[in-house]
Amino acid sequence: MSSKVSALDMPDVPMGQLPEHLHLQRTRVVCKADAPVHTEGIQYSGAYASIGVDNSVGVDSFCKSFKVKVVRLTKEEIEFDMIGIDASLANAFRRILIAEVPTMAIEKVLMVNNTSVVADEVLAHRLGLIPLNADPRLFEYLSENDAPNERNTIVYKLDVSCKKGSPRVTVKSDQLKWLPHGSELQMDSHDISSKAKSYTSFSCIQDSLPEFSKKPLGVKFDDIIIAKLGPGQAIELEAHAVKGIGKMHAKWSPVATAWYRMLPEIALLKEVTGADAEKLVKKCPVNVFDIEDIGNAGGKKAVVANPRTCTLCRECIRGVNEELVELRRVKDHFIFTIESTGALSPEELFIEAVKILEDKCDRVISELS
């Protein structure tokens, strides 16, 4: 029992600076054994007014404290850290990356002949999910009133058959041929005198446009199995791809997935030495802890070597009698991972997502006085 101290002799609460435990509460989520604690973000500017600490964040203080750090960048994936933003911004980026960045995907499928075991609509559904290698920024949206032309549609053809007597054929996505001239099928016209119209009205060959002549618009992955044909079966169809967003249908989502997590921070509440240190190091499946030798006596101490790999499996706090480790998450440090399906590279995807969020903000401004 600590000795009683008169209230007048106690040290002053430092004005203008948050005491330790409140700073922990404001900036860290503590993951206890049963549930995380202090998860809500304290953004209210007057939250600590009684202590004299101003919690407001202006644009300048945001700009000063904001940092980005790219950790890994490949053609298909990016992992980067964003420090100084709030959870709502991080979540908004994740939502926009999944549902609102536009892509091209097959929407209309004109069936000429389908004698395979895969039903028409199932085949069309599968074709819609195939990722296409087309940059959606070069295309416009196709609405109901527009005619499909070379600026808003990409036409593909699939024409495979399996001859009687030959072994089974697997239809893979590389057999989808791009038709730069537009649709080859002709619409029925009751008027005999008029010329036969095709389903799309391309005014010029898509191949001749400068953007597409160097990079042919095919599918991104060649080995996606579309259907399997037995002897005597055939598939002949024409597919039209248009621009859309993930909110309409998941086939237009440009990411395999996009996710974020908060930076883990592990604190050792007391010094762990000797056999206990070895046990602690062995418990962690991702090697967060490491042994450090202290002094000449050969004593061992456990230290936190790699907090970033912590996956919150809670093995280090499970079944212990006394609290040795505290698992925390830093509230404003987010580790983003974006896996692209291939049309746009992952860093371009993130920049598009920021542009889309800016457009949203502009649309939401009230035009009232």
Partner 1 sequence: MNAPDRYERFVVPEGTKKVSYERDTKIVNAASFTVEREDHTIGNILRMQLHRDPNVLFAGYKLPHPLQYKIIVRIQTTSQSSPTQAYNQAIDDLDKELDYLKKGFEDDKNRYEEKLRQGY
Report how far Cα 25 is from the mean position of its chain's Cα atoms: 29
Q: Which stretch binds partner 1 (CB under 8 A): 9-17, 54-62, 203-211, 300-308?
A: 54-62
The answer to the question of residue 44 lying near partner 1 (CB under 8 A) is: yes
Q: Cβ of residue 77: shortest distance to partner 1, in angstroms?
A: 13
Instruction: Tally DSSP H helices, then E strands, for the chain.
Output: 7, 14
**What are the backbone dihedrals phi and psi of residue 92, each rounded to the nearest 5 degrees, phi first?**
-60, -40
- The whole-angstrom separation of Cα 47 and Cα 192 is 78
Toward partner 1, which CB reaches closer, 199 or 252? Answer: 252
The answer to the question of residue 360 lying near partner 1 (CB under 8 A) is: yes
Two tokens, residue 187? 């619409």
Q: Cβ of residue 244: shortest distance to partner 1, in angstroms?
A: 9
Q: Which stretch binds partner 1 (CB under 8 A): 89-97, 193-201, 224-232, 260-268?
A: 89-97
Choose, by CB under 8 A, the member of 41, 230, 307, 342 that binds partner 1. 41
The answer to the question of residue 367 lying near partner 1 (CB under 8 A) is: yes
Tallying the residues shown for the chain, one arrives at: 369
The answer to the question of residue 145 lying near partner 1 (CB under 8 A) is: no
Q: Cβ of residue 52: shortest distance to partner 1, in angstroms?
A: 14
The answer to the question of residue 140 lying near partner 1 (CB under 8 A) is: no
**What are the backbone dihedrals phi and psi of residue 235, each rounded to the nearest 5 degrees, phi first?**
-130, 130
- The whole-angstrom separation of Cα 358 and Cα 369 is 22
Looking at residue 212, the DSSP 8-state letter turns out to be: H
Toward partner 1, which CB reaches closer, 149 or 345? Answer: 345
Report how far Cα 94 is from the mean position of its chain's Cα atoms: 6
By rule CB under 8 A, what count of residues binds partner 1?
Answer: 50
Q: Cβ of residue 187: shortest distance to partner 1, in angstroms?
A: 25
List beta partners, residue 273.
301
Choose, by CB under 8 A, the member of 7, 10, 15, 63 that binds partner 1. 63
Q: Cβ of residue 309: shortest distance to partner 1, in angstroms?
A: 21
Name the region of 324 (left: φ>0; alpha: ψ -120 to 50; beta: rest): alpha
- The whole-angstrom separation of Cα 258 and Cα 338 is 4
The answer to the question of residue 174 lying near partner 1 (CB under 8 A) is: no
| Stretch 217-256 residues interacting with partner 1 (CB under 8 A) | 245, 247-249
Q: Is 70 helix (H, G, I), strand (E, B) or coil?
A: strand
The answer to the question of residue 213 lying near partner 1 (CB under 8 A) is: no
Burial class of 162 by CB neighbour count within 10 A (0 to 12, 13 to 18, 19+) = buried
Q: Cβ of residue 204: shortest distance to partner 1, in angstroms?
A: 30
- The whole-angstrom separation of Cα 102 and Cα 201 is 23
Two tokens, residue 277? 């240190």
The answer to the question of residue 100 lying near partner 1 (CB under 8 A) is: yes
In the complex, the residues that contact partner 1 under the rule CB under 8 A are 41, 43-46, 54, 56-59, 62-63, 66-70, 73, 80, 82, 85-86, 88-89, 91-92, 95-96, 100, 245, 247-249, 347, 350-351, 354-355, 357-358, 360-369
